[in-house]
Amino acid sequence: MSEVQEKVSNVIKAKEVDPKFKYKMSKMHGAEKVMLCFQCGTCTADCPIARFSEFYRPRRIARMVQFGLKDRLLSDKALWLCSNCFTCVDHCPQNVEIAGIVRVLRNLTVKENKVIPLVYTVLASNLLKGGYVYEIREMHHKKRAGLGLPPLPKPNLEDIEKIFQITGSSNLLKGVETFEKVES
């Protein structure tokens, strides 16, 4: 049954569309110019990821934002395939920051859909625990000393904790659902 329903949704019906979405997006830091995109496709042609993945198409992401396909976008795991190389940002003839748009969409996915790749929760918890996004263990410190390197700077864990709280990030990550892999 669900298989059939999914197929019917091949046609985008008017009710799926959130015409206000693009305005909301254009107020977010990094996605301001999304409405200027005229779909030339330079970003996709430039994209090193798109060369090897048929799911990740930056132009299509911009189009979906313009059209207001918020739900489809936020449940699209391909968003997490952007490698942040900024080639698209540099080459866009309309100065649309596609990588910025993708970042905003990722933020929204975390905030509204409460979904995030597992790796980010791991990095975040490391950061909260030790100030570094990777777990620096005793072994690392010993090794450094052995190599004649100075001791690592001490993290201010209190501040980090606070920053997580005031920026709302702690709440964002609370009860978030995780997944491990994104298909390419």
Q: Is 145 in the site for other proteins (CB under 8 A)?
A: no
Q: Is 132 in the site for other proteins (CB under 8 A)?
A: yes
Smallest distance from the beta carbon of 71 to other proteins, in angstroms?
Answer: 14
Smallest distance from the beta carbon of 139 to other proteins, in angstroms?
Answer: 11
Q: Is 173 in the site for other proteins (CB under 8 A)?
A: yes
Q: Which amino acid, residue 180?
A: E
- Do residues 80 and 120 make contact, with C-beta atoms less than 8 angstroms apart? no
Of residues 17 through 56, those in contact with other proteins by CB under 8 A are: 19, 22-23, 29-30, 35-39, 48-49, 51-54
Smallest distance from the beta carbon of 175 to other proteins, in angstroms?
Answer: 14
For 24-86, the DSSP string reads HHTTSTT-TTGGG-----HHHHH-TTTTT-SS--HHHHHHHHHHT-HHHHHT-GGGGG-----
Place of tokens 């997944």: 179
Of residues 75 through 94, those in contact with other proteins by CB under 8 A are: 77, 80-87, 89-90, 94
Q: According to CB under 8 A, which one of 65, 66, 70, 101 is a site residue for other proteins?
A: 66
Cα distance between residue 2 and residue 9, in whole Å: 11
Q: According to CB under 8 A, which one of 13, 27, 174, 175 is a site residue for other proteins?
A: 13
Alpha-carbon dihedral angle through residues 69, 71, 76, 79, given to the nearest 10 degrees: 70
Q: According to CB under 8 A, which one of 75, 113, 125, 167 is a site residue for other proteins?
A: 167
Residues 6+ apart with CB under 8 A from 126: 132, 133, 134, 135
Of residues 93 through 112, those in contact with other proteins by CB under 8 A are: 94, 97, 99, 103-104, 106-107, 110-111
